[in-house]
A and B are shown apart, each in its own frame.
Chain A
């Protein structure tokens, strides 16, 4: 019987059926649900790691020991894991080793659009690209066979539309291969220069074998229909192209994209009149095909930026523009993502925003990044995970040389708990080691909220639901060298306390840390706890000054008929931030709070 699965569910299922015993991941859209699903299976070890480098190395160690393992991450996660990824390519595997990268054409939830197929070329490892959920399952199984047969890392590259689309899947049985023997072998496992020099030629030889496998495998399949138009495509582009062209074209669908099947491509090119290469983002296949002297049309016609769609293919290939019946004179209101009602980040930003003319806010990545938006506008920089603390130090060091008025901007670093564990700690060590006087605020909502509430070292629960000791952020901060008197812990629901701490942080002349601690209001237990905690507006006192509205809380609404503010009791969970900012004491505690 077939079941509907997302690509991510199918990848997890494929890993399970392939007999994977160890897997590690750090969350990141659109990859997160791979581990969330895999950890639900019996008879596996699954974990959340604090970052992608850790995840990759844990999985590598397991492969060396002789079991099948994988690590999964979003595309930018592979940047963090790039060091072990590049080096381990020389080691090969023992038990099969797979790294899953979930790329994001169009950046639905990401900071860049990097095409990680290029990473497979750089590292000289295999790249597989499934185009629907069934292939996610099948390719995952094939990946382990290839990894073990050719003693190589296999990278599975998926994109958002593959990860988050559902299609029917036929499941199979799980087969766990016997754990392989680990034999000590320094020449294979210790990459000192002498060994690496021997391994590199082995890898090059391996690539030739893999290229000839790529020519033979069904993972690269030709479908001949009309041969006037031939299309080489991969991943989701295959589905779009089939949708638009049906049997009006012939196809070479690339599922095994590094190394490419040169002979198959030459054969296909010779049989069709005009050859197109249709791939999202980088001209990864096109550049190689052109380097073989084969004429093809690719990025001259199809954009590098953004994602494809059937209408884009139709427009470019058939010159038929998309039509819509309804020209919209009216627009839907802007509905950007917002900090939720009761979000603990709101109280902090409410006070922090008051410093926006006097401070430089070096931000990071998480729900709290939304603090850059109105009404707070309390974030000035965001590069990558962990960069808040470090970039703030550079800003401060440059401040010291500046002659313009900018030198009065005091740097604050803003970082979430999960991000702090991911890559903030080394930055904090740098801050105390070099005694750079900035103030770091750790926004501890006790969960990895942005990616959908994954556990982390601070929550005390592992991916498999085991209870671990909660990692104490205070102890970590002190261990990194922050003086006791320069560390304060606040509750951001208490605006007075928050204001005082920010003032102290602003005035500090030594490295200073504020931990802003309050659980995310969406955590299930917290939702239950706060279900009946409400605020309400007393219309007799409300003068409609909108001070509360300027906290940006989505539970606050304007009642057009009476020109007063009202609070949506479904969303409100009684954080009282609006109550504290109301100059007329018009907002009162209700429900359990009263």
Chain B
């Protein structure tokens, strides 16, 4: 693994970004790294933008990532990629879940949804990976495990194979959710 690594997860309240970051950060901790994780959730329970940020390395001070310093950004909702793009490193990885949650500002005509932005950015972003993790999770039988499908993709693209993720997942999830999320993890990894 690189010396210090910055991971930024962006999504919409209720999408499970927090669980993904919890599994990731515990995996790093077990491997002996220093880890810090910051989350900001908006005012309402649901519907607002949320982000969690993980920083990992030998010694970490700030829990928050600076602009232009994320090694990877994972957009759990398509357009959230745009909100955080200026945090991505020039050679950083962008994973986009090809899944839209249109805010009511779009239906009310207050704010346009950038439906086609991926076409425009596909040239500019070297390491762009787009797939529909919602559909992958749904096909496995539980749409809610979408966040763990995305975890699988993160592990793959950041090459974090030195950590035993299945055992971390086992530790962090209640028994009854483990089996489905194991499948979700592998499906995401094979993406």
Instruction: Determine if A239 and B63 form an interchain contact, defined as CB atoms under 8 angstroms apart.
Output: yes
CA distance A323 to B60 in the complex (A): 21
Known: A166-B35, A324-B68, A337-B47. A332 touches B108 (CB 8 A): no
Instruction: Determine if B88 and A374 form an interchain contact, defined as CB atoms under 8 angstroms apart.
Output: no
**Closest Cβ–Cβ distance, residue B71 to chain A (whole Å):** 13
CA distance A168 to B55 in the complex (A): 12
Specify the main secondary structure of chain A where it touches its partner.
loop
Can you sample 12 A-B contacts with CB below 8 Å?
A: A4-B35, A164-B40, A165-B38, A165-B63, A165-B64, A166-B63, A323-B68, A332-B114, A333-B103, A336-B48, A370-B43, A557-B102
B158 at the interface (CB under 8 A from A): no
Interface string of A362-374 (1 = CB under 8 A from B): 0000010010001
Instruction: Determine if A167 and B36 form an interchain contact, defined as CB atoms under 8 angstroms apart.
Output: yes
Stretch at the interface among A42-50, A461-469, A547-555: A547-555
Stretch at the interface among B78-86, B149-157, B159-167, B177-185: B78-86
Known: A167-B63, A324-B67. A333 touches B112 (CB 8 A): yes
B105 at the interface (CB under 8 A from A): yes
List A residues at the B interface (Cβ < 8 Å): 2-4, 108-109, 132, 160-161, 164-168, 236, 239-240, 242-243, 309-311, 314, 322-340, 367, 370, 374-375, 449-450, 452, 522, 546, 549-550, 552-554, 556-558, 570
Interface string of B56-83 (1 = CB under 8 A from A): 0000111110111000000000011111
Q: Which residue of A lies closest to B75 (CB)?
A: A332
Known: A240-B62, A330-B120, A570-B143. A338 touches B44 (CB 8 A): yes
13 other A-B residue contacts (CB within 8 Å) besides A4-B26, A367-B45 = A4-B37, A109-B42, A165-B38, A167-B63, A323-B68, A325-B68, A326-B85, A328-B86, A335-B47, A338-B104, A549-B107, A554-B46, A556-B104
CA distance A377 to B31 in the complex (A): 52
Chain A residues near B29 (CB-CB < 8 A): 2-4, 168
Chain B residues near A333 (CB-CB < 8 A): 79, 102-103, 105-106, 111-114
Q: Which residue of A lies closest to B32 (CB)?
A: A2
CA distance A314 to B69 in the complex (A): 14
* Chain B, range 98-136, C-beta contacts under 8 Å to A: 102-108, 110-114, 117, 120-121, 124-125
Instruction: Determine if A370 and B114 form an interchain contact, defined as CB atoms under 8 angstroms apart.
Output: no
Q: Which residue of B lies closest to A558 (CB)?
A: B107
List B residues at the A interface (Cβ < 8 Å): 12-13, 22, 25-26, 29, 34-40, 42-49, 60-64, 66-68, 79-83, 85-90, 102-108, 110-114, 117, 120-121, 124-125, 143
Q: Which residue of A lies closest to B46 (CB)?
A: A340
Known: A4-B25, A336-B105. A326 touches B48 (CB 8 A): no
Chain B residues near A330 (CB-CB < 8 A): 82, 114, 117, 120
Tell which of A322, A334, A522 touches B67, judged by Cβ atoms closer than 8 Å: A322
Instruction: Determine if A340 and B35 form an interchain contact, defined as CB atoms under 8 angstroms apart.
Output: no
Known: A165-B63, A166-B35, A324-B68. A337 touches B120 (CB 8 A): no
Instruction: Determine if A161 and B64 form an interchain contact, defined as CB atoms under 8 angstroms apart.
Output: yes
Q: Which residue of A lies closest to B36 (CB)?
A: A167
Tell which of A165, A311, A367, A556 touches B37, judged by Cβ atoms closer than 8 Å: A165
Tell which of B40, B108, B117 touches A550, judged by Cβ atoms closer than 8 Å: B108
Chain B residues near A367 (CB-CB < 8 A): 44-45
Chain B residues near A335 (CB-CB < 8 A): 12, 47-49, 103, 105
Chain A residues near B108 (CB-CB < 8 A): 374-375, 549-550, 552
Tell which of A167, A168, A327, A340 touches B44, judged by Cβ atoms closer than 8 Å: A340
CA distance A554 to B44 in the complex (A): 13
Instruction: Determine if A243 and B37 form an interchain contact, defined as CB atoms under 8 angstroms apart.
Output: no
CA distance A51 to B170 in the complex (A): 40
Instruction: Determine if A522 and B46 form an interchain contact, defined as CB atoms under 8 angstroms apart.
Output: yes
Chain B residues near A329 (CB-CB < 8 A): 120
Instruction: Determine if A322 and B68 form an interchain contact, defined as CB atoms under 8 angstroms apart.
Output: yes
Instruction: Determine if B110 and A242 form an interchain contact, defined as CB atoms under 8 angstroms apart.
Output: no
Chain A residues near B143 (CB-CB < 8 A): 570
Instruction: Determine if B43 and A325 form an interchain contact, defined as CB atoms under 8 angstroms apart.
Output: no
Instruction: Determine if B61 and A240 form an interchain contact, defined as CB atoms under 8 angstroms apart.
Output: yes
CA distance A352 to B181 in the complex (A): 45
List the 6 shortest-distance A-B pairs measured between CB atoms, nearest first.
A337-B44, A324-B86, A332-B83, A165-B63, A337-B48, A243-B61
**Closest Cβ–Cβ distance, residue B69 to chain A (whole Å):** 9
Tell which of A132, A324, A570 touches B87, judged by Cβ atoms closer than 8 Å: A324
Chain B residues near A337 (CB-CB < 8 A): 13, 42-44, 47-48
Q: Which residue of A lies closest to B59 (CB)?
A: A242
Name the residue among A161, A167, A239, A242 with the largest chain B CB count within 10 angstroms: A167
Chain B residues near A314 (CB-CB < 8 A): 66
**Closest Cβ–Cβ distance, residue B115 to chain A (whole Å):** 9
Known: A164-B38, A557-B107. A309 touches B45 (CB 8 A): no
**Closest Cβ–Cβ distance, residue A415 to chain B (whole Å):** 18
CA distance A332 to B34 in the complex (A): 33
CA distance A108 to B38 in the complex (A): 13
Known: A165-B63, A324-B86. A554 touches B43 (CB 8 A): no
Chain A residues near B64 (CB-CB < 8 A): 161, 165, 309-310
Instruction: Determine if A554 and B104 form an interchain contact, defined as CB atoms under 8 angstroms apart.
Output: yes
CA distance A3 to B143 in the complex (A): 30
CA distance A340 to B45 in the complex (A): 8
**Closest Cβ–Cβ distance, residue B54 to chain A (whole Å):** 9
**Closest Cβ–Cβ distance, residue A280 to chain B (whole Å):** 13
**Closest Cβ–Cβ distance, residue B163 to chain A (whole Å):** 15
CA distance A332 to B73 in the complex (A): 15
Instruction: Determine if A166 and B47 form an interchain contact, defined as CB atoms under 8 angstroms apart.
Output: no
CA distance A310 to B61 in the complex (A): 10
